[in-house]
Chains A and B, each alone.
Chain A
Amino acid sequence: MSFLSPEEWTAVLLSLKVATVAVAASLPFGIGVALLLARSRLPGLWLLNALVHLPLILPPVVTGYALLLSFGRKGPIGGFLYDVFGLVFAFRWTGAALAAAVMGFPLMVRAIRLAIEAVDPKLEQAAATLGAPRIAVFATVTLPLILPGVLAGAILAFAKAMGEFGATITFVSNIPGQTQTLPSAIYAFLQIPGGELQAARLAGVSVVVALGAVLISEGVARRVAKRIGGA
């Protein structure tokens, strides 16, 4: 792609990496939390529900600031992760992925939760009477049936991660080649006189990636729906 400068190209690739890692790492948690919210009758789940939805409602800057406080090198969680695993989030691309995952998490959980609530528990009962242990019931009945919802949730979260700006810039700043994602780069170009053309090109890339994500998700969802068809 010769029409992108190396600098712009770096921002695009970094954004793709950040969004992919954010979605892949948060998906198992997203399914787990959605299962808890949809099926469990534990007391206090409203608190978990509120916590998950918080990034959707809070100003992104506040979420980024909270991440900085807790996942910074001296924060309670960030310090622990650094001491034990040598993991650093603040001002690294990993931090951008964490911010993107947190911001996309409510969207992911909502989509998966809806899918779980649509699964007929009678099918899971039938699997149990056929001798299937709980884990097998989940893997062979529940998971395949919620797959369209999981995909929808993952793609929503991916699109959100590609566009995340406020929490990212607050938590990991805007370092070219390190933490400068697509939106951060667009923002940076708009701050320089004469940078509009570059900003417009990157904006075009954003639109293409977003459209691509929607098309892929539609295609996959249609195939899954066709396979399950007329159930």
Chain B
Amino acid sequence: MLEVSLSHDFGSFAVDVAFAAPAGVTALFGASGAGKTTVINAVAGLFRPTRGRVVAQGEVLLDTERGVNLPARRRRVGYVFQEPRLFPHLSVRSNLLYGARFALKAAPGPGFDQVIEMLGIGALLERLPGALSGGEKARVSIGRALLSKPRLLLMDEPLAALDAARREEILPFIERLRDAGLPVLYVSHAIGEVARLASTVVLLDAGRVLAAGPAAEVFSDPALAPHLGGAEAGTVLVATVGETAPDGLVRLDTDAGPVWVAESPGAPGTRLRLRLHASDVILSRARPEGLSALNILPGIVERIEPEPGGRAFVRLRMGREAVLARLTQRSVTALGLAPGVACHAILKTVAVSRDDLGAG
């Protein structure tokens, strides 16, 4: 558990935030200039706000009121920077082991062999950082932070400088970290990454917390959708891989009902996250017949939030899950949608692409 509260006035821009990050990945999400890096640097001890308090797993790292301000080196916070910041004069092995010699021997954390195996960097150990590709550098910098045995991992857009293929190479490792139980504070302005990784979302806007809570809640809040990507907004469903039908389609079981996908994302029983773009969800009052779309999930309209430009976000409650749909206000009126009205969400199978399947 990490508790953060801080305020600082930069003159042209002020930051005033407070949030708690439980175990798992907590995403600090917001546009550039929302104050994300200020917050993460204050947690790391690289920036001292005028007023602030940071408590990580019971230990006070910063408390301006009581005059506590642990220096960065004593905070035991692993920091993966946006640029890898590897030491250019040291081999990959020396880079990885850099923090280990200062780490508490008794602190829990993965061993050297475990980390190089998880990150797939065993073949790079004797190389210098200058000879590595961008993706390799990013993996080494994650390994270096992990081997300092941190109690908390901070990641400041570690994938922002990478192309899509490299990003795809790193994301599974971060998912594994999350699943290993290390608390991660993850800064990003890429909604796809956040949807795939985050268990908790803290939405920042102009230095303030707009919303904070479990990812599924924040993502399905129609009022927040414009801040969560607008046209790219969408919900995240937790799914378990089910059986494969004779025609090759694979059933994914969610609390909202079964979703069929064309490509198997893993062995039966694997837990996944499904991201459903609000623009890819069609609503119908009656259960549609004679439609090519396979995935039809029943739900109840919970909230409707109009958006400038004649559109609206509609949240459908489906058991413990919720799905967001983006449609025109004309459709809302034509369908007579209002809170409490039952209707069906139609998902085009193709909209559930492999990119949107993250290990959950």
- Kindly report which residue of chain A lies nearest to residue B102, judged by CB atoms: A131
B73 x A133 contact (CB < 8 A): yes
- Note all chain A residues with C-beta closer than 8 A to B145: 129-130
A171 to chain B, nearest CB (A): 40
CA distance A3 to B90 in the complex (A): 48
Contact pick for B131, options A129, A133, A145, A230, CB 8 Å? A230
A228 x B89 contact (CB < 8 A): yes
B130 x A132 contact (CB < 8 A): no
Classify chain A's interface size. 20 to 34
Within 8 A of A (CB), among B238-257: none
A160 to chain B, nearest CB (A): 28
Given contacts A123-B85, A228-B89, contact A129 B129 (CB under 8 A): no
Binding stretch for chain A, among B74-82, B115-123, B261-269, B288-296: B74-82
- Note all chain B residues with C-beta closer than 8 A to A125: 46, 72, 85
- Note all chain A residues with C-beta closer than 8 A to B214: none
- Kindly report which residue of chain B lies nearest to residue A229, judged by CB atoms: B130
A26 to chain B, nearest CB (A): 25
Contact pick for B44, options A129, A136, A140, CB 8 Å? A129
A129 x B128 contact (CB < 8 A): no
CA distance A193 to B129 in the complex (A): 63
Decide if B88 is an interface residue (CB 8 Å cutoff): yes
Q: Mark B99-116 against chain A: 1 for CB-CB distance below 8 A, else 0.
A: 100110000000000000
CA distance A230 to B134 in the complex (A): 13
**Most B CB within 10 A of own CB, among A128, A140, A229:** A128
Q: Mark A114-149 against chain B: 1 for CB-CB distance below 8 A, else 0.
A: 000000101101111111110010001100110000
A126 x B85 contact (CB < 8 A): yes
CA distance A85 to B129 in the complex (A): 49
Decide if A231 is an interface residue (CB 8 Å cutoff): yes
B103 x A227 contact (CB < 8 A): no
CA distance A228 to B79 in the complex (A): 23
CA distance A169 to B130 in the complex (A): 49
Given contacts A126-B85, A133-B73, contact A228 B103 (CB under 8 A): no
Given contacts A127-B98, A229-B130, contact A132 B89 (CB under 8 A): no
Given contacts A129-B73, A131-B148, A227-B89, contact A136 B129 (CB under 8 A): no
A228 x B88 contact (CB < 8 A): yes
A145 x B88 contact (CB < 8 A): yes
CA distance A184 to B15 in the complex (A): 67
Decide if B33 is an interface residue (CB 8 Å cutoff): no
- Note all chain B residues with C-beta closer than 8 A to A231: 88-89, 129-130
A130 x B88 contact (CB < 8 A): no
B62 to chain A, nearest CB (A): 14
A144 x B89 contact (CB < 8 A): yes
A129 x B79 contact (CB < 8 A): yes
- Kindly report which residue of chain A lies nearest to residue B88, judged by CB atoms: A231
B128 x A122 contact (CB < 8 A): no
- Note all chain B residues with C-beta closer than 8 A to A141: 87
A126 x B76 contact (CB < 8 A): no
Given contacts A145-B88, A227-B89, contact A130 B98 (CB under 8 A): yes
- Kindly report which residue of chain B lies nearest to residue A224, judged by CB atoms: B89
Within 8 A of A (CB), among B147-202: 148
Given contacts A132-B102, A136-B102, A230-B130, contact A126 B88 (CB under 8 A): no
CA distance A127 to B46 in the complex (A): 12
Decide if B303 is an interface residue (CB 8 Å cutoff): no
Given contacts A122-B81, A229-B130, A231-B129, contact A130 B102 (CB under 8 A): yes
CA distance A120 to B84 in the complex (A): 13
B350 to chain A, nearest CB (A): 43
B235 to chain A, nearest CB (A): 35
- Note all chain A residues with C-beta closer than 8 A to B129: 231
B331 to chain A, nearest CB (A): 50
Decide if B71 is an interface residue (CB 8 Å cutoff): yes
- Kindly report which residue of chain A lies nearest to residue B85, judged by CB atoms: A126
CA distance A145 to B99 in the complex (A): 18
- Kindly report which residue of chain A lies nearest to residue B74, judged by CB atoms: A131
- Kindly report which residue of chain A lies nearest to residue B103, judged by CB atoms: A131
Given contacts A227-B128, A229-B130, A230-B130, contact A130 B144 (CB under 8 A): yes
Within 8 A of A (CB), among B269-292: none
CA distance A144 to B148 in the complex (A): 21
CA distance A231 to B131 in the complex (A): 8
20 residue pairs of the A-B complex, CB under 8 angstroms, read A123-B87, A125-B46, A128-B45, A128-B73, A129-B45, A129-B46, A130-B148, A131-B102, A131-B148, A132-B73, A132-B98, A132-B102, A140-B87, A140-B98, A145-B89, A227-B128, A228-B88, A228-B128, A229-B130, A231-B130
Besides the known contacts A125-B85, A130-B99, 8 further A-B residue pairs in the complex with CB atoms under 8 A apart: A130-B98, A130-B145, A131-B74, A131-B103, A144-B90, A228-B130, A230-B130, A231-B130
State the B residues within 8 Å of A (CB). 44-46, 71-79, 81, 83, 85, 87-90, 98-99, 102-103, 128-131, 144-145, 148
State the A residues within 8 Å of B (CB). 120, 122-123, 125-133, 136, 140-141, 144-145, 227-231
> 5 nearest interchain CB pairs?
A231-B88, A230-B130, A131-B102, A130-B99, A129-B79
